[in-house]
């Protein structure tokens, strides 16, 4: 028994070193395992650096041409979200500006706007916004509502003052129920702070899976599988092979995680309420589960390019089902359950809760246990896949 353990330990070290050599000799693997892990997160971080969309160009169609209508236009321009770039004379002219891409929304101030307000009648400001682009729509709508609400509050306060009320009474009556809103775990309310932590996990997973598949496809392509992995047929022979290879991948990806999850995260000041131990306890089973899954499916790629095509095809599906682009609670249960084939589906919500919300590892026990079970299941699957592949290819 001791001889078997020593023999397998020697094989483990051999395959660990051999896989590292294979990776560094393969330009495609180096590109995926190292360069891509720097470029992709960096590009995403730079692209989302502004966090929120500001100064969206809009047009204000002022059909009233009064002091109050001009004030409404100025107040819209003063908001963080909007910039009054054009003042078209008609709605048709504004429509042309919109279709030419020069403005992203329109505020229409109707005739008799000031007259209706001063006479105590209701008047309506009309906001046109492009709902086909939700981020722009949200900002145009929010900026318009904020500026119109502020203008309306000022009009209300003046009316109360004219009725003989004190300034305090006017403010209290205009806003009887004050609401204080706070952005928990995302102080800037930024899109980058929301999406980047989850995107980083997907990049780690997808690059590892593609890279492992490419290396497996290369072995098949060059008819080297049965030569390199002939020890599989020996007793427990697949275990040191799978462990040696997976440790090589995880060893590299621990450095990648250091760059993406620590250096880059802090560089762009993304929200961070985490503890290192909690993150490591999640990261280790996630990386090993991904490595074992990659090894299990890599034996099916006859050429290295098949890995790239297959995983790139799956990447948008995995992104959608991860719950980043669409809430997991709104995804059909069967579809979301199927998405748990990939470790990222459990890793992303658990990682965000620990890293961004400040949860402890005890509060993500369900996801952590699932990752551990997934790691063990994919380890067994990888061993079986290598055994079957050896029988088929020899």
What is the CATH topology of the domain spanning 56-174? abc type-2 transporter like fold (3.40.1710)
Strands 105-109 and 126-129: antiparallel
71-75, 172-176, 186-190, 313-317: least confident range: 172-176
CB 162 within 8 Å of CB 82:
no
Distance, in Å, from the CA atom of 230 to the CA atom of 243, rounded to the nearest integer, reads 16
Question: How many whole angstroms separate alpha carbon 204 and alpha carbon 201?
Answer: 5
Q: Is the pLDDT of residue 394 over 60?
A: no
Position 383 pLDDT exceeds 70: yes
- Confidence label for 173 from pLDDT (cuts 50, 70 and 90): low
Lowest-confidence pick of 50-64, 281-295, 313-327, 336-350: 313-327
Which strand (E) or helix (H) includes residue 331?
A: none
pLDDT of the residue at 187: 73
Query: Does residue 227 carry a pLDDT above 70?
Result: no
Domain map (residue ranges) of the chain: 2-49+190-393, 56-174
pLDDT score of 334 more than 70:
yes
Give the list of residues 6+ apart from residue 83 with CB closer than 8 angstroms, or none: 55, 56, 57, 58, 77
Determine the pLDDT at residue 205: 92
The Cα 284–Cα 279 span in angstroms is 9
Query: What was the pLDDT predicted at 313?
Result: 78
Asked if residue 368 lies in contact with residue 386, where contact means CB atoms within 8 angstroms, the answer is no
CA–CA distance, 218 with 385 (Å, rounded to integer): 17
Helices 191-221 & 304-321 angle (0-180, nearest 10): 150
Q: Is the dihedral of CA 75, 81, 82, 83 positive or negative?
A: positive
Q: How confident is the model at residue 285 (pLDDT cuts 50, 70, 90)?
A: very high
Q: What is the pTM of this model?
A: 0.81
**What is the SS3 string spanning 79-104?**
CCCEEEEECCCCHHHHHHHHHCCCCC
- Residue 176 pLDDT: 60
Going 338 to 344 to 346 to 352, the CA torsion angle's sign is: negative
Give residue-wise pLDDT tens across range 111-134: 988 888 777 777 788 899 888 888
32-72: per-residue pLDDT in tens?
888 888 888 888 777 777 778 888 999 999 998 898 889 98
Least confident segment among 19-33, 185-199, 285-299, 348-362: 185-199
């Amino acid at each position: 028994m001791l001889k078997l353990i020593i023999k397998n330990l020697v094989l483990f070290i051999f395959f660990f070193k051999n896989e590292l050599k294979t990776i560094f000799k393969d330009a495609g693997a180096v590109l995926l395992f190292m360069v891509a892990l720097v470029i992709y997160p960096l590009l995403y971080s730079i692209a989302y650096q502004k966090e929120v969309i500001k100064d969206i160009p809009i047009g204000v169609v002022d059909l009233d041409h009064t002091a109050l209508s001009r004030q409404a236009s100025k107040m819209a321009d003063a908001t963080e979200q909007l910039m009054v770039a054009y003042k078209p004379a008609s709605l048709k002219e504004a429509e042309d500006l919109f279709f030419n891409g020069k403005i992203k929304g329109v505020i229409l101030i109707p005739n008799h706007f000031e007259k209706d307000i001063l006479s105590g009648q209701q008047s309506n400001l009309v906001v046109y916004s492009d709902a086909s682009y939700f981020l722009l729509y949200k900002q145009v709508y929010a900026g318009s509502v904020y500026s119109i609400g502020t203008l309306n509050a000022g009009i209300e306060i003046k009316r109360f003052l004219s009725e003989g009320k004190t300034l305090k009474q006017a403010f209290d009556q205009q806003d009887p129920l004050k609401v204080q809103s706070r952005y928990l775990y995302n102080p800037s309310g930024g899109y980058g702070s929301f999406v980047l932590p989850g995107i980083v996990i997907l990049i780690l997973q997808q690059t590892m899976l593609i890279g492992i598949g490419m290396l497996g496809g290369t072995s098949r392509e060059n008819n080297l599988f049965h030569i390199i992995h002939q020890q599989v047929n020996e007793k427990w022979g697949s275990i040191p092979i799978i462990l040696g290879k997976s440790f090589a991948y995880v060893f590299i990806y621990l450095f990648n995680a250091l760059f993406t999850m620590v250096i880059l995260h802090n560089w762009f000041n993304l929200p961070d309420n985490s503890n290192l131990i909690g993150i490591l306890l999640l990261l280790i089973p996630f990386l090993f589960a991904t490595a074992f899954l990659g090894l299990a499916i890599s034996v099916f790629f006859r050429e290295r390019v098949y890995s790239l095509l297959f995983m790139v095809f799956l990447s948008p599906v995995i992104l959608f089902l991860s719950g980043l682009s669409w809430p997991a609670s709104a995804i059909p249960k069967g579809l979301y359950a199927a998405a748990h084939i990939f470790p990222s589906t459990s890793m992303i919500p658990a990682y965000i809760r620990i890293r961004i919300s400040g949860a402890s590892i005890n509060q993500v026990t369900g996801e952590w246990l699932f990752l551990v079970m997934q790691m063990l299941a994919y380890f067994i699957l990888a061993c079986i896949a290598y055994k079957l592949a050896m029988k088929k290819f020899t």
